[in-house]
């Protein structure tokens, strides 16, 4: 269904945003696209949807090249960007009708198409309301309905639950599960629980390159020798602890999690089993005159694997 080979995207003379990326996505797959900000995810999605052409490499969707046959490819795709533009002065029905007409759907079929989208996206209660009066959750659903109005085979969703509250996220997740029965879906999100709940496979991008491409369970098994550590430090100055704690040897990554009280700070570390991190940490904390108030270990999950493979955000 989707075949990407040696994809490169450069902007002027700067370092390429995407560097030789290759992957395949089969019909009916639900794939999560993960990576820190600036990793190249959105650039890849824009090339998949024909919003921009690659500098080199090829993308074939349903056997058609995105550069040679963009109109055909666009008919196959429903793309929901993170900030989907909508007309606030239109009602939900008017907006979906407008979108259907732009998509070239036959007039005799528009009514049925809108009815299907309203039902699928659970918009029955707001169909006569103006979009400007809707909550973020309903606006996201309207956006999803609008990109599906032409019944595309492929859905590409960029941060679809961004800005939603927990209840709205649960509702949106149910809608995506219904869609996954009939569509090929690429989902980009920073909410790793969304990926684990919906996707069958993940592609992790870092600094424009693929660093992992596998089923979630396979990734967890591959990194079964890794574990995460939650620990808390009692000290006077959080900034000092953050700067110094990264010097402790034996961890892939150490990051601040939260302030548990005025002088107790919680951190998370990713370490290899058998690492001497705990002893190194104790010695380091004692040398600083701080106190280790808690230390707990657990098996690495998708979040810890992502932190290990993707590293820090890029400033791009």
Within this chain, do residues 150 and 25 fall inside the same structural domain, yes or no? yes
* Residue 304 counted as domain residue: no
Q: Which residues of the chain have pLDDT under 70?
A: 225, 311-316
* Residue 88 counted as domain residue: yes
CA distances from 84 to 149, 210, 237 (A): 15, 27, 42
Of the chain, the percentage scoring pLDDT greater than 90 comes to 63
**pLDDT value at position 193?**
77
The helix or strand, by DSSP H or E, that contains position 265, with its residue range, turns out to be strand 264-272
Instruction: Please report where in the chains the tokens 């690492």 appear, as a residue.
Output: 275
Domain boundary among 187, 216, 245: 216
- Rounded to two decimals, the pTM is 0.78
**pLDDT value at position 311?**
64
Three-state secondary structure call for residue 97: helix
Q: Which residue range is the domain that position 96 belongs to?
A: 2-216
**pLDDT tens digits, residue range 184-210?**
999 998 778 778 888 889 999 999 999
Closest CA to 9 of 67, 76, 71: 67
Three-state secondary structure call for residue 171: helix
Domain boundary among 195, 216, 237: 216
Within this chain, do residues 280 and 176 fall inside the same structural domain, yes or no? no
Within this chain, do residues 8 and 100 fall inside the same structural domain, yes or no? yes
Q: Using CA atoms, how far apart are residues 63 and 3, in angstroms rounded to an integer? A: 8
**pLDDT value at position 312?**
54
**pLDDT value at position 209?**
95
* Residue 37 counted as domain residue: yes
**pLDDT value at position 100?**
95
Number of Cβ atoms within 10 Å of the Cβ of 107 = 8
**pLDDT value at position 315?**
38
Within this chain, do residues 169 and 245 fall inside the same structural domain, yes or no? no
Q: Which CATH number covers residue 273? A: 3.30.70.1340
Q: Which CATH number covers residue 34? A: 3.40.50.300
* Residue 211 counted as domain residue: yes
Within this chain, do residues 182 and 247 fall inside the same structural domain, yes or no? no
């Amino acid at each position: 269904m989707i075949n990407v080979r040696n994809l490169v995207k450069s902007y002027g003379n700067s370092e390429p945003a995407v560097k030789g990326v290759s992957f395949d996505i089969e019909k009916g797959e639900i794939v999560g696209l993960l990576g820190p900000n600036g990793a190249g995810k959105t650039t890849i999605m824009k090339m998949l949807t024909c919003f921009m052409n690659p500098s080199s490499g090829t993308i074939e969707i349903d056997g058609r090249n995105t550069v040679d046959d963009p109109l055909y490819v666009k008919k196959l795709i429903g793309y929901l960007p993170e900030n989907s533009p909508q007309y606030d002065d239109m009602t939900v029905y008017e907006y979906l009708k407008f979108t259907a007409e732009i998509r070239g759907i036959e007039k005799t079929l528009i009514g049925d198409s809108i009815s299907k989208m309203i039902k699928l996206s659970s918009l029955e209660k707001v169909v006569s309301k103006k979009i400007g009066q809707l909550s973020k959750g309903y606006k996201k659903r309207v956006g999803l309905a609008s990109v599906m109005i032409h019944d595309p085979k492929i859905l590409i969703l960029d941060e679809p639950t961004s800005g939603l509250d927990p209840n709205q996220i649960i509702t949106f997740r149910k809608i995506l599960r219904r869609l996954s029965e009939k569509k090929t879906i690429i989902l980009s999100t920073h909410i790793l629980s969304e990926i684990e709940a919906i996707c069958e496979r993940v592609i992790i991008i870092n600094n424009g390159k693929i660093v992992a491409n596998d089923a979630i369970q396979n990734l967890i098994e591959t990194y079964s020798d890794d574990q995460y550590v939650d620990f808390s430090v009692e000290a006077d100055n959080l900034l000092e602890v953050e700067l110094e704690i990264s010097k402790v040897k034996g961890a892939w990554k150490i990051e601040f999690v939260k302030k548990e009280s005025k002088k107790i700070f919680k951190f998370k570390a990713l370490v290899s089993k058998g690492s001497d991190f705990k002893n190194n940490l104790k010695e380091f904390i004692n040398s600083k005159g701080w106190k280790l108030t808690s230390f707990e270990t657990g098996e690495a999950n998708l979040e810890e694997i992502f932190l290990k493979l993707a590293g820090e955000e890029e400033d791009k």
